[in-house]
Amino acid sequence: MSNRAWLFLIPALVLLSISAFIPLMTVINYSLHYIFAGSAPTYVGFENYVEVLNDPAFLKALGRQMVFSLMILVVEVPLGIGIALAMPRKGKGVALTLVFLGIPLLIPFNVVGIIARVFTQSSIGVVPEFFALFNYDYNVSLHTTDAILTIFFLDVWHWTPLVALLCYAGLQSIPDAFYQAAQIDGASAWKTFRYVTLPKLRPVLIIGVLLRFMDSFKIYAEPLLLTGGGPGDATTFLSLHVARKAESYELGYAGASSIIYLFIVIVFSYLFFQLLTNIGTGENK
């Protein structure tokens, strides 16, 4: 590469180093030291990592996070496909449905959290009122199930449209001839879905699954605003746990757990990617 080419790369490299490289290096540096506010850092090697991996609070948060993210995938992906299949393929309905689906995506995380908080407030919220009709005492700050399911429902409401829109775009790109050919072969609706629609949707589904996995694994604002991670630690997901530690100035612990966190996201994303890319191709004969 000539020198001039480097010149053009400099702005991008500077931005990238500020936004990613420097913070990451800082975190790695923290993770290898014992730091407490004010005191001088002491190098401790991998001690922080050992501590994190032996911390029941971290492991519980991780387990909670895994279950939550898997639940998200299991519900949002099929639901998204279903919505996409049910959407009109032409006519005035298309624009209307797209706008309708797009609205949740436009709302920022923290606003979603605040909306949820208002809706679920025990004295004024509409949700507790609604459940009261069935004699159910809905209370997110007291009942674990209520809190978890509310956050789960929020995420499904907020992000299923993304999966649906991706799938919708994918469906639009399948030529009619594929469906006709299946029809001529006498394939049933299920077989047509299984052998035409699903394989043709694979590329967008890979993107959808990865995005939803990574994003749900990072869930932060909603539990924080709704219950602050409670009741107890019922909705203290991984990012909330890590942030708590950083807020309480345990920077070494926070650094180490961040790196482990990052590692987990990368490994699982890679596994999902491999799995989805290779299903039904020559790779897993």
Site string for other proteins, 99-128 (x = CB under 8 A): ------------------------------
Region at 280 (left for phi over 0; alpha for psi -120 to 50; beta for the rest):
left
What six digits make up the tokens of 218? 């990072």
Q: Which of residues 180-219 bind other proteins (CB under 8 A)?
A: 180-187, 191, 195-196, 198-200, 202
Residue type (1 letter), 155: D
* Comparison of 4 and 90: residue with beta carbon closer to other proteins: 90
Choose one: 16-24, 84-92, 179-187, 231-239; the region binding other proteins (CB under 8 A). 179-187
What six digits make up the tokens of 60? 């519980």
Q: For the CB of residue 202, give the shortest distance to other proteins in the complex, in Å.
A: 8
* Comparison of 5 and 177: residue with beta carbon closer to other proteins: 177
* By the rule CB under 8 A, 177 interacts with other proteins: yes
Residues 6+ apart with CB under 8 A from 76: 155, 156, 159, 160, 163, 212
Q: For the CB of residue 285, give the shortest distance to other proteins in the complex, in Å.
A: 8
Element containing residue 229 per DSSP (H, E) = none
* Comparison of 183 and 274: residue with beta carbon closer to other proteins: 183
DSSP track, 123-189: TT-HHHHHHHTTT----TTT-HHHHHHHHHHHHHHHHHHHHHHHHHHHHHTS-HHHHHHHHHHT--H
Residues 6+ apart with CB under 8 A from 128: 120, 121, 122, 137, 138, 139
* By the rule CB under 8 A, 282 interacts with other proteins: yes
* Comparison of 89 and 191: residue with beta carbon closer to other proteins: 191
* Comparison of 62 and 209: residue with beta carbon closer to other proteins: 209
Residues in contact with other proteins by CB under 8 A are: 175, 177-178, 180-187, 191, 195-196, 198-200, 202, 279-282, 285
